[in-house]
Chains A and B, each alone.
Chain A
Amino acid sequence: MTALLSTNEVVVRFGVLQAVSQASIEVHAGRVTGLIGPNGAGKTTCFNVITGLQEPTSGKVLLEGVDITGKSPSKRARLGIARTFQKLEVFGSLSARENIMVAAEQRRAWDKSGFDPKKVTDEILEKVGIADVSEFMVGTLPTGTARLVELARALATNPRLLLLDEASSGLTEEETEEMAALLRRLVADDGLGILLVEHDMSFVMGICEFIYVLDFGRVIASGTPAEVQANPTVQAAYLGTESVEEAS
Chain B
Amino acid sequence: MRLKFSPRLISAVIVALIVAFVVQSNWGSASVSGRTIATFLVVGIALGGVYAISAAGLVVTYATTGIFNFAQAAIGCFLAFCYWQLTVQWGLPTLVAIAITLLIIAPAIGIALDRVIMRRLRDAALVVQLMVTVGLMLTFMGITLTIWPPKAPRSVPHFFEGTKGVQIGDVIATWHRIITVAIALLVAVALRFLLYRTRLGISMRAVVDSRSLAGLTGAKSSVISGASWSLGCMTAGLAGILIAPETGLVVENLALVIVVAAAAAAIAQLKSLPMVFVGGLIIGLTEAFTSVFLNFGTDWNYAPQAIPCVILFVALLFLPQARLETGKVRLTKRTERLTKPWEAAVGGGVMIVLVGAWANGWIPWFSGTTFGERSAVWLGRGVGFMIVGLIMLSLVPLIGWAGQVSFANFAIAGVGAVLFSHFGGQNGSPIGILFVMLVCAPLGLLIALPALRLKGLYLALATLAFAEFTDKVIVRHPKMIDPSATGVLFKPLDIFGIHISSDAADRKAFVIFLVIAFALLFFMLELLRRSRWARRWIAMSDSPAASATIGINLTTTKMAVFMLSGAMAGFAGCMLGLSQGALRVDSFPMFIGLPLVLLLAVQGVRYPVAAFMGLIGLASFPALSEVMGNPSWLTQVSLIGPGLAAVAMAYRPEGAVFYTGRDLAGMLPWRADAREEKALLDQRTRDQDIGRDDINDLGLTRAFTREKVAQLDRRLSISDAVDEHPMVTSTGVAK
Contact = CB atoms under 8 A, between A and B. Distances in A.
Given A90-B543, A93-B542, A137-B336, A101 B551 contact: no
Nearest to A156: B550
A27 B337 CA distance: 41
Contact of A73 (B542, B548, B684): B548
B539 A170 contact: no
A51 B303 CA distance: 46
A91 B549 contact: no
Contacts of B535: 94, 98, 101-102, 105
A117 B535 CA distance: 13
Contacts of B547: 91, 102
B334 A137 contact: yes
Contacts of A87: 326-327, 329
Q: Which of A76, A95, A105 has the most CB of B within 10 A?
A: A105
Contacts of B335: 136-137, 140
Contact of A106 (B541, B545, B550, B681): B550
Contact of B333 (A73, A81, A140, A172): A140
B713 to A, nearest CB: 12
Interface in A103-117: 103, 105-107, 109-110, 117
A93 B550 contact: no
Interface in A25-56: 48, 51-54
B549 A53 contact: yes
Contact of A102 (B324, B336, B539, B606): B539
B321 to A, nearest CB: 10
Q: Which of B334, B549, B684 has the most CB of A within 10 A?
A: B549
A54 B545 CA distance: 11
A172 B535 CA distance: 30
Nearest to B673: A135
A93 B336 CA distance: 8
A191 interface: no
Given A74-B548, A140-B335, A91 B554 contact: no
A83 interface: yes
B554 to A, nearest CB: 7
Given A74-B548, A77-B551, A106-B550, A143 B536 contact: no
Contact of A109 (B324, B551, B719): B551
B542 A92 contact: yes
Q: Which of A107, A110, A117, A136 has the most CB of B within 10 A?
A: A136
A78 interface: yes
Given A98-B535, A105-B535, A144-B717, A90 B331 contact: yes
Given A139-B332, A142-B717, A170-B717, A94 B538 contact: yes
A6 interface: no
Nearest to A44: B326
A143 B337 CA distance: 20
Given A73-B549, A92-B542, 8 more contacts: A72-B553, A94-B538, A95-B338, A102-B532, A107-B551, A136-B335, A153-B550, A172-B719
Interface of A: 48, 51-54, 72-74, 76-78, 81-83, 85-95, 98-99, 101-103, 105-107, 109-110, 117, 135-140, 142-144, 146, 150, 153-154, 156-157, 170, 172
Nearest first, the 9 A-B pairs at minimum CB distance are A77-B551, A73-B548, A89-B546, A87-B327, A91-B542, A89-B543, A103-B550, A139-B331, A143-B717
30 contacts: A52-B548, A53-B323, A74-B551, A77-B550, A78-B551, A83-B549, A85-B546, A86-B326, A86-B327, A87-B329, A88-B331, A89-B327, A89-B545, A90-B329, A91-B543, A93-B332, A93-B541, A93-B542, A95-B338, A99-B539, A102-B532, A102-B539, A117-B532, A139-B332, A140-B333, A140-B681, A142-B717, A153-B546, A154-B549, A157-B550
Interface of B: 323-324, 326-327, 329-338, 532, 535-536, 538-539, 541-543, 545-554, 606, 681, 684, 716-717, 719
